[in-house]
Amino acid sequence: MKTKHIMVLVAGTLALGACAETNEPPVAPAPPIGPGAIAGTVAADRNGDGIIDGYYTSEGLYHAFEAPPCPPPPPPPPSRRGERG
């Protein structure tokens, strides 16, 4: 009786082993680094607005981007009412 159980287990193992794939597809290379990216860092969006605010280095330190201040908005257009010259 034990021999029959062992033979069934061996046959099942061989049958399932024959179906297994051993060829794994190669891993794709990493995409190229985009403009403004710093190799070896992780981008950080600290306030959740979808814009990258800085980056973390491999030591875990946060570095904020320091951009120049935005220019003031343009002056409002002249009014269409009133005297026209």
More confident residue, 23 or 63: 63
Question: For residue 11, which phi and psi values (nearest 5 degrees)?
Answer: -65, -40
DSSP secondary structure, the chain, as one string: -HHHHHHHHHHHHHHHHHH----PPPPPPPPPPPTT--TT-EEE-SSSSSS--EEE-TTS-EEE--PPPPPPPPPPPPPSSS---
pLDDT at residue 27 above 80? Answer: yes
Q: What is the pLDDT of residue 1?
A: 66
> What are the sequence ranges of the domains in the chain?
40-68
For residue 83, pLDDT over 80 is answered with no
Digit-coded pLDDT (tens) for 65-80:
877 777 888 998 887 7
